[in-house]
């Protein structure tokens, strides 16, 4: 009997060591919480210097009715501590219209400059208000690791919900955005190209548009082998998976859409890991309008799976990241960086225990999958 108990104890202890080695916990921490502000839509970049830049939006509400601000914070210890907020740009309602800052993205370009991209969308707030403005993208550049930023550079790129700039091997820049197609009433996702590093932009190329599906919120990933994968949200609240389109010619033409195993996925953010895998963070939103945005997931797959067009032949692992306990939950727009091989820092906006919305951080590893 004693021998059996001893064997069971040893086995249990060994299993606990294995579990500890694999990693069974996700660290969660508050980056910014101001209960007077709706803090939302974060994006994250880790510079070659090691500095991490966080960009997000402050506003009076999720849609933004009275004002919006773009906020920048930095961290020099991989997210353990953060600088005070810097207001990069601000807009206020005027004549019943808010030309709002919507959803920023931050990255580092190959030439070393940091870049923040954000869409400005005219919103008619008051009854009877009018405007001839359309949604467009603005750029801010930093040449000193995010210490200072240029004035806003208004581009000719139309649309909203921009992706990061994809720098192609031939030097071209490619950026995805979306806008409502008046013929279908649904968004068209397009990619706009610059052959002179953002000075001028060509006519956009359609990535995907549909009279049936409501595709939006593109995230384009360039594989080491040259193909481009564009992951997409389907926005009819039917619990449909994240879809993808594939380009084999530097984004001149696109094939798809094709289903992925990321069921009920919204707002994908896709990057390569140092191990050569693809990680995508996203909101999980099953069919129906409520409850809304309760869960945030991460998905890990190999490039071979990303290039596979048949969903039955794709394979990856889903990792639950967080759950929003608020009865009026909202969140699931994320950004992430790899701070060390296999170690990730992720940001998300979430209500949870806040009255409005807060910016929350997470640490987890590839072993957690």
The CA distance from 288 to 116, in Å, is 34
Condensed to tens digits (0 to 9), the pLDDT of residues 147-159 reads 999 999 999 999 9
Structural element, H or E, at residue 12: helix 2-22
Give the separation between CA 348 and CA 361, rounded to whole angstroms: 6
What's the CA gap between 277 and 32, in Å, rounded? 30
Asked if residue 283 belongs to a domain, the reply is yes
CB contact set of 352 (below 8 Å; sequence gap of 6+): 322, 324, 325, 326, 329, 331, 358, 360
**Residue 53 belongs to a domain with what CATH number?**
2.120.10.10
Residue 33, domain member (yes or no) = yes
Predicted local confidence at residue 289, as pLDDT: 77
d(CA 332, CA 323): 10
Helices then strands, each counted (H, E), the chain:
2, 25
The rounded distance, in Å, linking the Cα atoms of 267 and 280 is: 10
Distance from the first to the final alpha carbon of the chain? 38
Residue 358: domain span: 27-368
Distance, C-alpha 309 to centroid of its chain: 23
Domain-located, residue 5: no
Q: What is the tens place of the pLDDT at every residue in 31-55? A: 999 999 999 999 999 999 999 999 9
Element (H, E) at 22: helix 2-22
Cα–Cα dist 205/251, whole Å: 8
Q: Is the dihedral of CA 167, 169, 171, 174 positive or negative?
A: negative
Q: Is residue 319 part of a domain?
A: yes
Token pair listed for 10: 């040893």
In a domain, 228, yes or no: yes
Which residues of the chain have a pLDDT value below 70? Answer: 1-24
pLDDT of residue 17: 36
Residue 66, classed as helix, strand or coil, is coil
Q: Which residues 6+ apart lie within 8 Å of 108 measured at CB?
A: 45, 46, 47, 48, 114, 115
pLDDT at position 21: 42
In 163-235, DSSP assigns E strands to 166-167, 173-180, 187-194, 205-209, 215-222, 228-234
The alpha carbon of 316 is separated from its chain's Cα centroid by a whole number of angstroms, namely 19
Beta-sheet strands, E only, within 25-148: 27-32, 38-46, 52-59, 67-75, 86-92, 97-101, 105-108, 114-124, 136-142
Report pLDDT for 24: 57
Tokens of 49: 């210097």
Is residue 186 domain-resident? Answer: yes
Residue 239 structure tokens: 């619990």
**Is 12 part of a structural domain of the chain?**
no
Please check whether residue 272 lies inside any domain of the structure.
yes
Q: How many domains does the chain have?
A: 1
């Amino acid at each position: 009997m004693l021998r059996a108990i001893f064997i069971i104890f040893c086995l249990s202890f060994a299993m606990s060591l294995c579990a500890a080695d694999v990693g069974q916990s996700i660290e969660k921490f508050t980056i910014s919480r101001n209960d007077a502000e709706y803090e939302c839509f974060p994006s994250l970049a880790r510079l070659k210097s090691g500095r991490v830049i966080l960009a997000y939006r402050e506003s009076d509400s999720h849609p933004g009715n009275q004002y919006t601000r773009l906020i920048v914070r930095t961290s020099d210890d991989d997210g353990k501590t953060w600088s005070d907020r810097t207001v990069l740009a601000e807009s206020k309602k005027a004549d019943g219209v808010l030309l709002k800052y919507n959803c920023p993205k931050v990255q580092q370009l190959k030439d070393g400059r940091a870049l923040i991209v954000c869409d400005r969308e005219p919103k008619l707030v008051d009854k009877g208000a009018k405007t001839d403005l359309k949604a467009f993208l603005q750029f801010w550049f930093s040449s000193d690791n995010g210490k200072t930023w240029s004035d806003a550079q208004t581009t000719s790129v139309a649309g909203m919900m921009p992706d990061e700039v994809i720098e192609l091997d031939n030097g071209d820049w490619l950026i995805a955005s979306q806008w409502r197609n008046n013929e279908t009433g649904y968004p068209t996702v397009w990619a706009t190209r610059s052959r002179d590093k953002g000075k001028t932009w060509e006519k956009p190329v359609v990535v995907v548009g549909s009279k049936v599906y409501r595709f939006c919120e593109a995230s384009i990933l360039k594989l080491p082998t040259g193909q481009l994968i564009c992951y997409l949200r389907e926005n009819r609240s039917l619990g449909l998976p994240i879809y993808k389109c594939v380009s084999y010619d530097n984004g001149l033409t696109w094939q798809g859409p094709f289903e992925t195993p990321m069921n009920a996925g919204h707002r994908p953010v896709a990057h390569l890991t140092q191990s050569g895998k693809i990680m995508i963070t996203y909101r999980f939103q099953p069919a129906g309008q409520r409850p809304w945005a309760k869960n945030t997931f991460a998905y890990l797959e190999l490039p071979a799976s990303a290039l596979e067009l048949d969903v039955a032949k794709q394979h990856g692992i889903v990792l639950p990241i967080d759950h929003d306990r608020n009865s009026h939950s909202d969140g699931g727009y994320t950004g992430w960086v790899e701070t060390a091989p296999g170690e990730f820092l992720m940001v998300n906006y979430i209500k949870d225990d806040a009255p409005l919305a807060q910016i929350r951080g997470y640490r987890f590893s590839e072993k957690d999958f």
